[in-house]
Amino acid sequence: RAHELAEAGGLPAFVYDLAALDEHAAAVRDALGDVELYYAAKANPDPELLRVLARHVDGVEVASGGELAHVLGVLPEVPIAFGGPGKTDAELAAALDAGVARLHVESPGELRRLIATGREADILLRVNLAVSLGDVALAMGGGATPFGMDPDDVTVCLDLLDRQEAVRLRGVHAHLASGLDAERMLQVNDQVLGYARSLGVTEINLGGGMAVSYADPGDRFDWAAYGKGLAGLRRSGETLRIEPGRSVSVYCGRYATRVIDVKRVHGRLFAVVAGGTHHIRTPATKGHSQPVIPGVPGEPITIGGQLCTPKDQLAENVPLALEPGDVVEFAMAGAYAWNISHHDFLMHPHPGFHYV
């Protein structure tokens, strides 16, 4: 499809393999057993991907009023969990109007504003526990971060909830880190479950953050081991829920583009391609090379885009022979690519979106 698009002048473009996504999501669902699976729409809210995932997930997690409206526009009947650290009054109202299944409350202040509406809601308290995370790709908790609340503020929230009846506590939510393998994820989950049990709640959302390796795309999160481990941790009567994003959709997408120029600067070989990190921001933000689909071997070459910044680099020292006009395809572009990028910097054309 990428070469067909190139011949038609249709690059750069994202191409999504819906069959591969369907197969992967089915395998994840099968591995989890009784654990509920919500998809984190922030990873990639593409409507076609959402429709495929709807066959396998129990719901969708959103983190803004915009995501809420978008997901319900595509999947009107899907259960929604509404999270995010900075919900406005308008977003809280939109969530209540939509009848979301769960609101993830981030602070006593947010809870006070929710209670002040006088409306009914089912909530989880997002907790930020001081647990040991080790070396992680991104720490969302485990210490002083603006996400969720520490146990002292949880106590404040419990007191607020005891004084009224409209807002109902259903459990806790904890998304503490990204980049954990199955073993370490289970170790963190065990600590979260211990805390939840100390509060006497039986519904626990363990978040996402399953490890994804851009350096070794074949090294995938062990869903079978994780599902088995969660089954061992879960107690009778408990509802466990996870909300992965990247680890579900990242593998189904490619970013395809074409080479505009090849040049040598101070001995180093560069290829400049159409598009760049304003289409696929991930390699710049995470400081890695986006995996390139192998082609004709050649001298190591660094591939960058069209932006006026040295940070517009997609892959470094790729052993690939490239010439102007060649098609280059980047793998693992199904999550945190287009939707996280600064689309209009320099006002280049937006990419196309295609599906196989």
**Cα Rg of the chain, angstroms:** 22
254 bridge partner residues: 15
Helix (H, G, I), strand (E, B) or coil at 120: coil
**Active-site entry in 215, 308, 310, 347:** 308
CA-CA-CA-CA torsion for 180, 63, 100, 335, nearest 10 degrees? -60
Q: Which residues of 78-109 are buried (b: 16+ CB within 10 A; e: fewer)?
A: bbbbbbbeebeeebbebbbebebbbbbbbbbe
Determine whether 308 is an active site residue. Answer: yes
Cα–Cα dist 83/298, whole Å: 47
261 bridge partner residues: 272
Spatial CB neighbours of 99, under 8 Å, sequence gap ≥ 6: none
Pairing, β 13-16 against β 352-355: parallel
Distance from the Cα of residue 5 to its chain's centroid: 28
Residue type, position 309, single letter: T
Positions marked active-site: 308
